[in-house]
């Protein structure tokens, strides 16, 4: 009878090799294979159950690719000096700041006007500079996440009251309410896009950030000065 190890070895080696080819040379197929084996033995019962079903090889191999990709990403981040959060165009903090306004269109007006008709930035951080474009990004991404996640974000950022009161209004504990919010923000962040690791290795610095009023005013004046 062929052992568990011998049965999986061709899939492990293939998944490790295919995954390593997508990353720089410091991510080796041997290291990825070790990570896959750790996963396989930690989940041996589940893998063996899958092996009793039809087309099990394709299913297990697909999971191995995910395990290898995650391990390769971790190795690349550690070697190149960037974090998992850096791989997103928008950070969680920026998204949460924008969500305070995105459900209310009247708060999207990024500029007031002087008597000479030239625009000038308003005072609140979430009403300045390029935030209108960022709010548009978030609004578009909201349309792509599930209705349940959209509802959670609306409840968290738009309902009046404290976090505890909002949770009670939704019929859940404060902890559960926070977990729902965090999952919804993560789903939204995924829709807002990721940064290529190749860009991060070369010092990518185009991360979306909410800019302050003073910086926005300076930027606006420079634009109108030509």
pLDDT digits (tens, 9 = 90+) for 171-223: 999 999 999 999 999 999 999 998 888 888 887 766 666 654 444 444 444 44
Distances (CA, A) of 75 to 29, 101, 116, 193: 12, 37, 56, 21
Average pLDDT for 67-85: 93
Sign of the CA dihedral running 97, 100, 104, 108? negative
Q: Determine the pLDDT at residue 46.
A: 96
Q: Determine the pLDDT at residue 119.
A: 40
Q: Determine the pLDDT at residue 221.
A: 47
**Which phi-psi region, left, alpha or beta, contains residue 118 (left: φ > 0; alpha: ψ -120 to 50)?**
beta
23-45 pLDDT, tens digit each: 999 999 999 999 999 999 999 99
Q: How far apart are CA 158 and CA 142, in angstroms?
A: 15
- What b/e string do you get for 20-37 counting C-beta neighbours within 10 Å, with b at 16 or more? beebeeebebebbbebbb
Q: How far apart are CA 188 and CA 193, in angstroms?
A: 9
pLDDT class of 113 with cuts at 50, 70, 90: very low
Average pLDDT for 145-165: 92
């Amino acid at each position: 009878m062929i052992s568990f190890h011998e049965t999986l070895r061709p899939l492990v080696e293939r998944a490790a090799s295919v995954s390593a080819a997508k990353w720089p040379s410091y991510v080796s197929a041997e290291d990825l294979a070790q990570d896959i084996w750790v996963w396989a033995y930690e989940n041996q019962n589940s893998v063996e159950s899958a092996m009793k079903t039809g087309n099990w090889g394709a299913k297990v191999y697909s999971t191995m690719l995910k395990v290898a990709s995650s391990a390769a990403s971790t190795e690349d981040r550690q070697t190149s000096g960037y974090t998992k959060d850096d791989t997103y165009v928008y950070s969680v903090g920026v998204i949460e700041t924008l969500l305070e306004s995105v459900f209310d269109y009247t708060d999207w007006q990024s500029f007031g006007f002087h008597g000479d008709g030239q625009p000038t930035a308003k005072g609140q951080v979430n009403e300045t500079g390029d935030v209108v474009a960022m709010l548009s990004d978030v609004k578009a991404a909201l349309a792509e996440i599930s209705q349940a996640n959209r509802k959670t974000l609306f409840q968290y950022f738009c309902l009046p009251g404290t976090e505890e009161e909002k949770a009670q209004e939704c019929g859940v504990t404060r902890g559960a309410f926070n977990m729902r919010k965090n999952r919804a923000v993560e789903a939204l962040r995924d829709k807002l896009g990721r940064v290529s690791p190749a860009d991060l290795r070369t010092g990518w610095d185009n991360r979306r950030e909410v800019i302050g009023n003073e910086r926005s005013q300076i930027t606006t004046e420079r634009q109108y000065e030509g």
